[in-house]
Structure 1
Amino acid sequence: MPVSRRTERYIRLPGLQRPGREAQTPLPRDIKVLVAAAFVIALGYGLVAPVLPQFAASFDVGVAAASVIVSVFALARLVFAPVGGALVGSWGERRVYLTGLLIVAASTGACAMAQDYWQLLIFRGLGGLGSTMFTVSAMALILRLAPPNGRGRVSSLYAGTFLMGGILGPVVGGLLAGFGLRMPFVVYAVALLVAAAVVAVLLKKPAPRTADDGPAPVAMDLREALSDPGYRAAVVSAFANGWATFGVRMALIPLFAAAVLGAGPATAGLALAVFAVGNAMALTFSGRLADNVGRRPLVVAGLTVAGLAIAAIGFIDSVPAFVAASVIAGFGSGLLGPAQQAAVGDIIGNDRTGGKVLAVFQMGTDAGAIIGPVLAGMLADRLNYAWAFGVTGAVMLASALLWLVFGRETLMKPVKETAAD
């Protein structure tokens, strides 16, 4: 007579993996191709970043109008993200990725030939549309191709490569500016064409499906993703990270250095550079750690460390402390990024596509990068920088609390069941 007994086991959801030290799965070649392309893309983006406001100002416009040229790129990414996600589901990641690269290449080349401010504004906005296409499709490819026990490692590698390109780009761009403000745009357009050609040749085309392959992968429904507390927490933390890391850091750090510390652009540049150094330090191990101990601990730790460091900046009155806080904030951001992205990949899984799901996740970052500097800037104007950086840090800490209380660990799902022998 069979005897019932209670057993406990881990149900492995699609793409999920139990934490623990496991043998690392070799990375597919396609991921290496995408990582190499990411370096070229980031390098090129860094080429135009230092000269873009100056190029806009050369058309006899004010500081505000020159700043709009920078923000229109992020605004276009935010508005077009849902369409980009839908295209990934209908066209496939590879086609959307290549199309996005070519659009950005064409728009960047057009920027180099712009004859007035409004042409430059339109061309830069079109670049944001293409950027959304290749960003969402690249994220979808990376997460789908990565082995489940290596999503954190792959996300860390991709982010680190992008970071290195972003660090080297402004250096090269500054040198190219000596040949004219249009030259960096020309070089970036050519670099994007090279990256597109490399990806087109080396990134494998999806093999035609046969009856033996079973049903084609289906797209994850956005409503299903939004019903998952881990996904909701990831979107909120992406917003907080965009607010602080991509928004307030870039917009307010130079102003704070000049207004409060009495320092020049060199000190502000140093703070941005050491943020990248701290970020790179964390990326050397954060991805592997997220694959071993889980996503949520790394996300919570990263949000907490970065939030406290950024909040502290508003109360600092010396350059050494300012630089130290920037390093710590960068380190926290490096802990957060790979684990957060891997968590979204866990939720989607390897057997589904997630264009719309990833687009909304990306929209969280872009929305934070747009809203954060505006609100923080208003606080700095009406109150002081302590309020601006303090509220920014509070947004990150609130996101960490949300993950801690309501978010879930996506790397494993322990359940109990009754089995009969």
Structure 2
Amino acid sequence: MPTPPPHPAPAPVPPPADRALPAGSRRRRPRAPRTPIPPAILVLIAAAFVIALGFGLVAPVLPQLAHSFDVGTTAAAAIVSVFALARLVFAPAGGRLVERLGERPVYVAGLAIVGLSSLTCAFATDYVQLLLFRGLGGLGSTMFTVSALGLIVRLAPAGARGRISSYYAGSFLLGNIAGPVVGGVLGGLGLRVPFVVYGLLLLATAAFVFVRLRAATGSAATIGGEAGTPPVLPLRTAFGDSAYRAAIGSSFANGWGVFGVRVALVPLFATAALGAGPALAGAALAIFAVGNALALPLAGRLTDAYGRRPLVLAGLATTGIATMALGLVPNVAVFIVASIVAGVGAGLLGPAQQAAVADVIGPERSSGRVLAAFQMAADTGTIIGPLLAGFLVDTLSYGWAFAVTGAVCLLAMVPWLVARETLPATTTEPAGS
């Protein structure tokens, strides 16, 4: 472990951007002007809103479109699962594409593929075609997800990574909230209409990003072009970093609890266990989103001011305890409170762990496979979590399902307790001084 530098006198030149603070050290961060957000990042944030909005457009009608081909509930659910499965399977190849071609072309191509996939879903003539076209959309999704993370890593200033991650996540959140509302209205015009609108939106967004990113970043050399191809961070090297290993664990737990069990079981729990009506079941995820929205802006600022580890640990603890409490809630009022608190925990966790991964990679290296593995951890949790939790509900109870899910979040804290702090240091001093 490197020896912390002596206290320097105030100087106009900051220390190297990616100098990390050893675990157990205490930080004294001088006041400084807020780091501006690069224009290219603003383009990605705007695109994230459109992507999430479009995904929400088709979410309410996708199972209904599958049912229209006279298939059962399991086959209709498979239409949802094939998207996540394709993302998981194709993630390593997507990471290699980013390293070979650069982030921008892979991002634009991924958006175009998902857009074309949505348009072809609108014109599918049978269930098999719908399943195939939706799976192809998953391939495009992992392309733009991995490359978007890579662009943020490359372009985000070290002092604003937490804030940028919170803005990016908040943009997705707003799109996810607005999308189903608009999609429900469009679905009334026909089950295929939302797919057409989504496809056209994504193709237009791909063209917008292609033009605006080039204008915002200048030459291709800055984002993976041939003239300035950066060195690749090997996956083995990343796994040698305690912070990256911890982020893989928390990403898995986040996928299990937030993207998996919460989406699959919480609405059912509100109806079956609490005896609530369809209105609460439908609003269960929106209630969680309220807590998420409340936490994200603050989480980004705190992550950049005080470090990644404290926010990750707080987020995992809050989410884990609130999720375990869900299985014990006696009434609807407590259920709402627990859901909001769990949303706050997820809001604290997301920006901090993404910023930590960005710190590990640094702006000077390409990182397709490293980011793909980080995404795969969440996708794996999203697939495994609902299956195991559903089995626990069928054999034991909702209480057991939520208890195990909360325990997964709490166990993910252990690697972070011994992981290094990755926030670039300004002034450091030993913890005991």
* Structure 1 and Structure 2 fold alike (TM over 0.5): yes
- Counterpart secondary structure, 1:410: strand
Q: Which residue number corresponds to residue 281 of structure 1? A: 294
- What amino acid is aligned across from residue 78 of structure 2 in structure 1? V
- What amino acid is aligned across from residue 308 of structure 2 in structure 1? R
Contact 2:52 / 2:175 at 8 angstroms: preserved in 1? yes
Identity %: 60
Most deviating of 5-14 and 350-359:
5-14
**1:229 paired to 2:247:** no
Contact 1:152 / 1:338 at 8 angstroms: preserved in 2? yes
- Counterpart secondary structure, 1:351: coil
- Counterpart secondary structure, 1:203: helix
Counting only pairs closer than 5 Å after superposition, residues 293-332 of structure 1 correspond to structure 2 as 293-332=306-345
- What amino acid is aligned across from residue 242 of structure 2 in structure 1? P
1:173–1:346 CA distance, 2 compared to 1 (3 A)? same
Looking at structure 1, the residues matched to 141 and 241 of structure 2 have their Cα atoms a distance apart, in angstroms, of: 27
Cα deviation digits, residues 98-121 of structure 1 (max 9, x gap): 110010011110111111111111
Deviation at 1:215, TM superposition (A): 7.0
Most deviating of 51-60 and 407-416:
407-416
- What amino acid is aligned across from residue 299 of structure 1 in structure 2? V
- Counterpart secondary structure, 2:100: helix
Q: Which residue number corresponds to residue 8 of structure 1? A: 6
1:24–1:370 CA distance, 2 compared to 1 (3 A)? same
Cα deviation digits, residues 274-313 of structure 1 (max 9, x gap): 1111001001210111000000000000000011101111
Q: Which residue number corresponds to residue 264 of structure 2? A: 251
**1:148 paired to 2:158:** yes
Contact 1:16 / 1:349 at 8 angstroms: preserved in 2? no
Cα deviation digits, residues 337-356 of structure 1 (max 9, x gap): 00000000000001111111
**1:207 paired to 2:219:** yes
Number of residue pairs the alignment of both structures matches:
409
1:75–1:9 CA distance, 2 compared to 1 (3 A)? farther
Looking at structure 2, the residues matched to 253 and 118 of structure 1 have their Cα atoms a distance apart, in angstroms, of: 30
Looking at structure 2, the residues matched to 51 and 286 of structure 1 have their Cα atoms a distance apart, in angstroms, of: 34
Looking at structure 1, the residues matched to 195 and 298 of structure 2 have their Cα atoms a distance apart, in angstroms, of: 35
Counting only pairs closer than 5 Å after superposition, residues 3-402 of structure 1 correspond to structure 2 as 8=6, 15-16=18-19, 20=29, 21-204=31-214, 207=219, 216-402=229-415
- What amino acid is aligned across from residue 48 of structure 1 in structure 2? V
Contact 2:60 / 2:180 at 8 angstroms: preserved in 1? yes
Contact 2:18 / 2:424 at 8 angstroms: preserved in 1? no
- Using structure 2 for the length normalisation, give the TM-score: 0.90
Looking at structure 1, the residues matched to 347 and 64 of structure 2 have their Cα atoms a distance apart, in angstroms, of: 30
Contact 1:15 / 1:348 at 8 angstroms: preserved in 2? no
Looking at structure 1, the residues matched to 385 and 76 of structure 2 have their Cα atoms a distance apart, in angstroms, of: 19
Q: Which residue number corresponds to residue 408 of structure 1? A: 420
Contact 2:4 / 2:428 at 8 angstroms: preserved in 1? no
Deviation at 1:401, TM superposition (A): 2.5
- What amino acid is aligned across from residue 164 of structure 1 in structure 2? L
Q: Which residue number corresponds to residue 419 of structure 1? A: none
Deviation at 1:261, TM superposition (A): 0.9
Looking at structure 2, the residues matched to 321 and 57 of structure 1 have their Cα atoms a distance apart, in angstroms, of: 36
Contact 1:244 / 1:372 at 8 angstroms: preserved in 2? yes
- Using structure 1 for the length normalisation, give the TM-score: 0.93
Deviation at 1:264, TM superposition (A): 2.5
Cα deviation digits, residues 189-222 of structure 1 (max 9, x gap): 0110111111011112662669xx9974211111
Deviation at 1:17, TM superposition (A): 6.3
Deviation at 1:402, TM superposition (A): 2.4
Q: Any unmatched runs of 5+ in structure 1? A: 417-421
Deviation at 1:59, TM superposition (A): 1.2
Cα deviation digits, residues 131-184 of structure 1 (max 9, x gap): 000000001101210100000010000000110011000000000011011111
Looking at structure 1, the residues matched to 271 and 289 of structure 2 have their Cα atoms a distance apart, in angstroms, of: 20
- RMSD in angstroms over aligned alpha carbons? 2.2
Deviation at 1:28, TM superposition (A): 1.0
